Structure 1
Amino acid sequence: MAVLLSRLGTFSARHRFAVLAVWLLVLVAGGVGAATLSGPTSTNFSIPGQESTTALDRIQSQFGAGAGGATARVVVVAPEGQTLTTPENAAAVTELVTTLGELPGVTSATNPLDPAAPAVNQQQTTAYSTVSYDAAPGGVTPEEQEALQDAVADAGEGGLTVEVTGEAVQEVPAVGGPSEVIGVVVALVVLAVTYGALAIAGMNLLTALVGVGVGVLGITIATGFVDLSSTTPILAAMLGLAVGIDYTLFIVTRHRQELLRGTDVRRSIGLAVGTAGSAVVTAGLTVVIALAGLFVAGIPFLTQMGLAAAGTIVVAVLVALTLVPAVLALLGTRVLPKRMRAAAAEGTPVAARGRGILARWADGVTSRRVASLLLAIVALGVVAIPVASMRTTLIQQPAEDTSAARADALLAEGFGEGFNGPITVLFEGDGAVEAAARQAQEIPALDDVAVVAPPIPNADGTAALLTVVPQSSPSSAATEQLVADLRDQFRSLDGVEASVTGQTAVSVDVAQSLDEALPKYLALVVGLALVLLVLVFRSLLVPLVGVLGFLLTIGASLGATVAVFQWGWLADVVNLDTTGPLLSLTPILVIGILFGLAMDYQVFLVSRMHEAHSHGTPPLQAIRTGFRQAAPVVVAAALIMFSVFAGFVPAGEATIKSIAFALAVGILVDAFVVRMVLVPAALALLGERAWWLPRWLRWLPVLDVEGAALERDPATSRERELVGDPR
């Protein structure tokens, strides 16, 4: 692999203008395709085949096409000291309902003051109109949402307080807010400090942005043909930007090291792509496998998210292997600080700097290996304690200071906490209406039931809908238990099928499916990590140390996330509006993404240790040598990834906030505790045994991540002898 990649890097350097033109053409074509072929994204998360999801489809067939469509609730509150039934307020409500019914995409808008179907609280101070759309949940267009928001704003200019909430007004999250830009700026600063030159730092960031642009534009094109989640482009952009910067950093750093040894530019590029590029391919492959492996959960929208993000990672790897060498060839020796360019241009080796803080760090960790190992394990174990109380849900509270948040608060105040998460029960079969009527009398005896509305039959009396309003909030454990209690109660019905559905039930079903898939997925990624690392390092104990460290990373990452987002610790620091269960997607996505990124650091750091050991260096000295060579790059890469992920935390988008926070914490923990304390301490404790491979496994193929084949190349060897390279 190293030889093939070296040839690819050399080819890209030789044909740099053609490579640049191809990537520019791909970027332009992606932009044109995105502008002409893109479609809407969905904010709806559901699992085909689940009871709650299939019931929604049957409601549409039993009660009409609009019955299962997207809805919004326009909440109306009377002025203080008044009621909505006064002539003036009643007329304003009627006028608002008429306006809502005439909005684009709206099929109906109910009148909350209609005596036949009132939707007003007992005090007659708070009411709501249900606005139904002909589009499915997540399918209301931005123009239709804006028209509804304008109508609500106009109605609120009078004496009434008018706000709107519901799935129909959920906005599609956007990429590129101020906090994300700050994260990119921080990454640029870290690159500039690492390289000592702003130009090469800018090149690193620019090539990463090209990869992200191509990947996100490809996903945007796919929305015209596939129903994708609105979170998919954000996840792909966040991950693609982080790994794109890091992969370029790996190759550029190795290229600069080769230039400082006196290697000419083109040969240096080939060596850098052959060695660091091999680590990039291996690391990228782990991320792609982890993301594509999300299919084991059996959830279509999660599989689509994983495949889309994996595609962006593939683009980032291709950019690092082709576009980066082409740009490096254009820059020549300008990738080095000015004080080093003359010597590099003459082919004169530049002496390495003296021992730095990272070298002393490696000496301290490996000298006090037992204490360092125990301290790292205990510290990460303590941070992971909150995981035991982790709860997940799909129901996320809207951001503060939005109309949706204010509307939910008004509904909770006027009707109770559970009103924002009603549970719908569909009864079907002979006697469905009678069964629904009986259950309407029996359900109030269950715990956490506030109100049971009268059953609504369909036109031919073969089905009926029953609405159950819980006492607790939609994301509470009591409401989740009520869903389970209802299903248990309906199992005893004879001749009638009862299905529990609604947004709350869908959330419960998705969360349960993800929780059940989590152990299976964790076993998959851990197993893949072991196999891949055995192939890379031809060792059993090194992969075992790396995988156990990854498990500690996951525990600490999710533990810190539970403490902040569920318990409320340091909530103000991350601009958290409300606390509650984590988003259901968070654990499984964090495991998949951190798996790939942790293997990035493991491969890049330990491969340099393995490289030194394979050249005859004693085990302890090999650890210190490899650490000294690779740790600066790992530190810079971790700080860059942290800044990119952290940039997505304060934005207030609930769907991505907890995921970004968990990834940011996981990166810090994995790079600075696991890879830079636990791994070197454990390898130092193992000594020569760390690189032991049983005889019955020695038939395994050699991946040559360190580029040993390049070291044996006659031309390369002669160059190294001329520049005094001891290898």
Structure 2
Amino acid sequence: MAKYLYRLGLWSARNSKKVIIGGIGVLLAIAVLALAMGPKFSEDMSIPGLKSAAAIELLNKEFAGPKEDGGQTRMVIKAPELQTLSSEDSQAAIQKVVKEIAEDTQVKAVKSPYDNQLSPDKTIGYMDITYKTPAGEVTDESREHISAVAEDMRDAGWQSELTGPAFSVMKIMGPSEVIGVLIAFVVLSITFISFLLGLMPIVTAVVGLGIGLLGVMIGSNMLDIPSVSLALAAMLGLAVGIDYALFIISRYRQQLAEGYERSESIAIANATAGSSVVFAGVTVIIGLAGLAVAQIPFLTAMGLAGAFCVFTAVLIAIIFVPAVLAGLGDRVSAHSGNKWMKPRKRANHRGNRWGHLVTRKPWTMVILGVVLLGAIALPFTRMELGMPDDGQKPTEKTERRAYDLFSEGYGVGSHSPLVVLAQADGDVDLMAGVSSALKELEALPNIGTISPAIPGPSGKLALINIIPATGPSDIETSDLVHAIRDRAPEILERSHVELMVTGSTAVGIDISQKLNDAVPKFCLLIVGLAFLLLMVVFRSLLVPLKAVLGFILSLGATFGIVVLVIQDGHMGKLFGFHAPGQVLNFLPIIVVGILFGLAMDYEVFLVSRMREEFKHTGDAKQAVLAGMGHSGSVVTAAGLIMISVFMGFMLAEDPIIKSMGFALAFGILFDAFVVRMMIVPGVMTLMGKSAWYLPKWLDRILPNLDIEGEAVMEELKSRRDEKEKLESLQLSPE
């Protein structure tokens, strides 16, 4: 692989103008195509085969009503002080508001508070506004119109708050994400001691990210891709794009410092660091594509979208970055930057203080790292999965105020309604059986209200609405769903009525359970795959085992901090989580897939330099020092860049994006700085030469990927020796 990448890097360097123009041309062409087709993201995050999903299908057949494909916005209102919604003045005001809302030509229907249920004290109600287009296609003008109507109501003394999928739009790149990129620029500028080199990885990453995201937008016209996929793909594409460029530029400057010619230095960097980039990218792609193992359609789509953006980041790194380096010419050198900061020439120089500290006190570092991560991982055992809601948004947002106002009027359980479908078992009196079943349901704990059963047209089905006493994030709500299902067989036997629990809350609980069940299987696949891949790369049994155990440690600590902050609410406000809530149900499986790839990324870049040095010297301790000296600072910078990019997304308003950014930022913090910079070099020092043991029969079977570019370097050394010998012969007297 290294030889092919060497040739590719050399070709890109010699054809830099063509490659740069071609890359920008591809970006513009895809942009034109994406704008012409437009995005068509699906908001369907259902999972086939769930009990609740089957009940919904039966429910829709029996109680078929007009299908609403348009997006909806809900306006929750509260009458002015000392007034109620039932007064004549309030009714006149509401009628006027309904007319104002309907003035928007994109509005299909407005359901007034009097068509819905008013709160018991008649002071709070809500309006449902349905648009002619799906939620994702509702225009900014329509949202501004409804916001202006709500503001006019506030001026008149009403409380008016807005929520709903047509109003709350997920923003992929906002001011908070830009902050993360700016921090990455600062880290890069300090690492390279050059503003130009600090900017270059960001520019190349943005080119790759643009191609990747536009490709996902085009793909949304052909596949059912949820809109949240775009946020995940943006996070990954930007972070890995910057990191991969950093790896290649760092190795390029090292080769220049060793006296290689510019084009040759680019080719060598592409063969060595580029090999690590390709391997790292492949592991991330495998981790994301492996989400398909869970057999959950929306999760598969998210994984493929992220994998595509990582794929484009890899291509940009090994094709576009070499061309840009060649295009910059003499503006990039081995000593680019301030004169007062000299580049490091030796792996075991005095500046490698951290490497010397770890190799002097390996037991201390390993024990400290393991205990620290183990302690942080402890809360992981109490993780509860669900979907974030408006109750976790800041009180400054109208969506959060709408949530609180709805809770005030209808109770916190109104956000977690349950639908129970009763089906007659044979030729029995359905309503008599339902009446008997209702008495048993009323005895269950955590029941708020139960509405009278509504019989269906066929006479074989009846609909029962239940409002729990607790909200969607409370474990008691989930327990109630399970309690009804556990009681259903007894009710069927006594009353000859089969009860099926469905509704958005029950569906969410079922999805969370399905995702929770998929995590162990996915983890087993990922861990096994990581071991095999690293065994091939490092030609060792113990190095892959150490890497896998380190990955498990960082993964456990990541889930532990997620539970501590998001679920338990400790230090929540510090990180922008304004109320405790359940952990995003697909977060664990997403984090496993992504963190696996990124952890192997740092492992390969750090340990490959150790292996390279060990093969040359046979000194295990010196190999650890060489790896820390050559790659430690680069891994540190790469980790800081990843964290800053993910932190930018953590500052986003949307709870889904925020929780993903938070988990990935801390995952990289634990893996890059505790596992790879403390535990890995400590364990490698303790293992000594045995770290590189591999049975000879296994060594013969395994393919040689040559991640370090050893074959290329030997070939170049041979060429140099021949050239020097030829020159010496020409200069020597006959």
Q: How does 1:475-494 map to 2 (within 5 A)?
A: 475-491=473-489, 492-493=491-492
2:565 matches 1:564: yes
Alpha-carbon contact 2:423-2:462 (below 8 Å) kept: yes
Alpha-carbon contact 1:362-1:627 (below 8 Å) kept: yes
Shift in CA distance, 433/134, structure 1 to aligned 2, threshold 3 Å: farther
Q: How does 1:439-588 map to 2 (within 5 A)?
A: 439-491=437-489, 492-493=491-492, 497-588=498-589
Shift in CA distance, 651/350, structure 1 to aligned 2, threshold 3 Å: closer
Alpha-carbon contact 1:386-1:563 (below 8 Å) kept: yes
2:374 matches 1:381: yes
Shift in CA distance, 609/586, structure 1 to aligned 2, threshold 3 Å: same
Shift in CA distance, 413/358, structure 1 to aligned 2, threshold 3 Å: farther
Instruction: Tell me the distance in 2 between the aligned counterparts of 1:709 and 1:610.
Output: 14
Provide the secondary structure at the position in 1 that maps to 2:156: coil
1:311 to partner: Cα distance:
0.6
What 5-or-longer segments of structure 2 have no aligned partner? Answer: 726-734
The residue number in structure 2 matching 1:345 is none
Instruction: Tell me the distance in 1 between the aligned counterparts of 2:368 and 2:174.
Output: 39
1:44 to partner: Cα distance:
4.5
The residue number in structure 1 matching 2:46 is 46
Instruction: Tell me the distance in 2 between the aligned counterparts of 1:440 and 1:105.
Output: 43
Of residues 419, 442, 445 in structure 2, which corresponds to 1:424? 419
Aligned partner letter, 1:536 = V
Aligned partner letter, 2:4 = L
1:150 to partner: Cα distance:
4.4
Alpha-carbon contact 1:334-1:341 (below 8 Å) kept: no
The residue number in structure 1 matching 2:666 is 665
1:649 to partner: Cα distance:
1.1
Shift in CA distance, 480/9, structure 1 to aligned 2, threshold 3 Å: same
The residue number in structure 1 matching 2:705 is 703
1:81 to partner: Cα distance:
2.2
The residue number in structure 2 matching 1:2 is 2
2:196 matches 1:195: no
CA RMSD of aligned residues (A): 2.7
CA offset digits 1:129-185 (Å, max 9, x no partner) = 4455677787766665555444444444434322233445332x1122111111111
Aligned partner letter, 1:689 = S
Provide the secondary structure at the position in 1 that maps to 2:66: helix
Instruction: Tell me the distance in 1 between the aligned counterparts of 2:72 and 2:503.
Output: 12
The residue number in structure 2 matching 1:28 is 28
Shift in CA distance, 421/143, structure 1 to aligned 2, threshold 3 Å: farther
Instruction: Tell me the distance in 1 between the aligned counterparts of 2:87 and 2:159.
Output: 15
What 5-or-longer segments of structure 1 have no aligned partner? Answer: 343-348
Alpha-carbon contact 2:256-2:334 (below 8 Å) kept: no
Instruction: Tell me the distance in 1 between the aligned counterparts of 2:419 and 2:136.
Output: 19
Aligned partner letter, 1:477 = I
CA offset digits 1:450-500 (Å, max 9, x no partner) = 111223334454433221101001111000111111222333437655432
Alpha-carbon contact 1:635-1:671 (below 8 Å) kept: yes
The residue number in structure 1 matching 2:162 is 164
The residue number in structure 1 matching 2:405 is 410
Instruction: Tell me the distance in 2 between the aligned counterparts of 1:354 and 1:280.
Output: 22
The residue number in structure 2 matching 1:268 is 265
Instruction: Tell me the distance in 1 between the aligned counterparts of 2:336 and 2:585.
Output: 53
Instruction: Tell me the distance in 2 between the aligned counterparts of 1:354 and 1:278.
Output: 21
Alpha-carbon contact 1:66-1:132 (below 8 Å) kept: no
CA offset digits 1:263-285 (Å, max 9, x no partner) = 00111111111111111111111
Alpha-carbon contact 1:392-1:583 (below 8 Å) kept: yes
Shift in CA distance, 497/147, structure 1 to aligned 2, threshold 3 Å: farther
Instruction: Tell me the distance in 1 between the aligned counterparts of 2:707 and 2:476.
Output: 53
The residue number in structure 2 matching 1:291 is 288
Instruction: Tell me the distance in 1 between the aligned counterparts of 2:224 and 2:461.
Output: 30
Size of the alignment, in residue pairs?
713
Aligned partner letter, 1:469 = I
The residue number in structure 2 matching 1:229 is 226
Instruction: Tell me the distance in 2 between the aligned counterparts of 1:137 and 1:497.
Output: 35
The residue number in structure 2 matching 1:184 is 181
Aligned partner letter, 1:190 = V
Instruction: Tell me the distance in 1 between the aligned counterparts of 2:137 and 2:172.
Output: 20
Instruction: Tell me the distance in 2 between the aligned counterparts of 1:683 and 1:163.
Output: 58
TM-score of the aligned structures, taking structure 2 as reference length: 0.91
Instruction: Tell me the distance in 1 between the aligned counterparts of 2:78 and 2:609.
Output: 67
CA offset digits 1:527-566 (Å, max 9, x no partner) = 1110000000010000000110011101111111211112
Aligned partner letter, 1:18 = K
2:120 matches 1:125: no
Provide the secondary structure at the position in 1 that maps to 2:649: coil
Provide the secondary structure at the position in 2 that maps to 1:703: coil
1:91 to partner: Cα distance:
2.8
Provide the secondary structure at the position in 1 that maps to 2:75: strand
Question: Taking every aligned residue pair, what percent have the same amino acid on both sides?
Answer: 42
CA offset digits 1:317-376 (Å, max 9, x no partner) = 10011001111111223212667999xxxxxx9982696676221111112111211111
Alpha-carbon contact 1:204-1:249 (below 8 Å) kept: yes
Instruction: Tell me the distance in 1 between the aligned counterparts of 2:374 and 2:139.
Output: 47
Shift in CA distance, 110/454, structure 1 to aligned 2, threshold 3 Å: farther
Shift in CA distance, 239/358, structure 1 to aligned 2, threshold 3 Å: farther
CA offset digits 1:55-112 (Å, max 9, x no partner) = 3344333333536766554322222222222221133334445666786666654454
Alpha-carbon contact 2:620-2:685 (below 8 Å) kept: yes
Instruction: Tell me the distance in 2 between the aligned counterparts of 1:433 and 1:107.
Output: 37
1:591 to partner: Cα distance:
1.2
The residue number in structure 1 matching 2:730 is none
Aligned partner letter, 2:367 = L
Alpha-carbon contact 1:44-1:137 (below 8 Å) kept: no
Instruction: Tell me the distance in 2 between the aligned counterparts of 1:150 and 1:646.
Output: 33
The residue number in structure 1 matching 2:622 is 621
Alpha-carbon contact 1:191-1:201 (below 8 Å) kept: yes
CA offset digits 1:23-64 (Å, max 9, x no partner) = 111100111112111233344422122222333344333333
Alpha-carbon contact 1:39-1:225 (below 8 Å) kept: no
The residue number in structure 2 matching 1:249 is 246
Instruction: Tell me the distance in 2 between the aligned counterparts of 1:101 and 1:498.
Output: 40
Provide the secondary structure at the position in 2 that maps to 1:301: helix
2:359 matches 1:366: yes
After superposing the two structures, state which structure 1 stretch, 490-499 or 414-423, moved more. Answer: 490-499
Instruction: Tell me the distance in 2 between the aligned counterparts of 1:378 and 1:676.
Output: 15
The residue number in structure 1 matching 2:17 is 17
Instruction: Tell me the distance in 2 between the aligned counterparts of 1:438 and 1:513.
Output: 32
CA offset digits 1:280-334 (Å, max 9, x no partner) = 1111111000000001111111110001100111100100110011111112232
Provide the secondary structure at the position in 1 that maps to 2:650: coil
Instruction: Tell me the distance in 1 between the aligned counterparts of 2:149 and 2:486.
Output: 43
CA offset digits 1:556-583 (Å, max 9, x no partner) = 1111121111222222221222111111
1:718 to partner: Cα distance:
1.3
Shift in CA distance, 561/208, structure 1 to aligned 2, threshold 3 Å: same
Q: How does 1:131-170 map to 2 (within 5 A)?
A: 131=129, 147-170=145-168
CA offset digits 1:236-284 (Å, max 9, x no partner) = 1111111111111111111111111110011111111111111111111
The residue number in structure 2 matching 1:346 is none
After superposing the two structures, state which structure 1 stretch, 118-127 or 212-221, moved more. Answer: 118-127
Instruction: Tell me the distance in 2 between the aligned counterparts of 1:258 and 1:337.
Output: 8
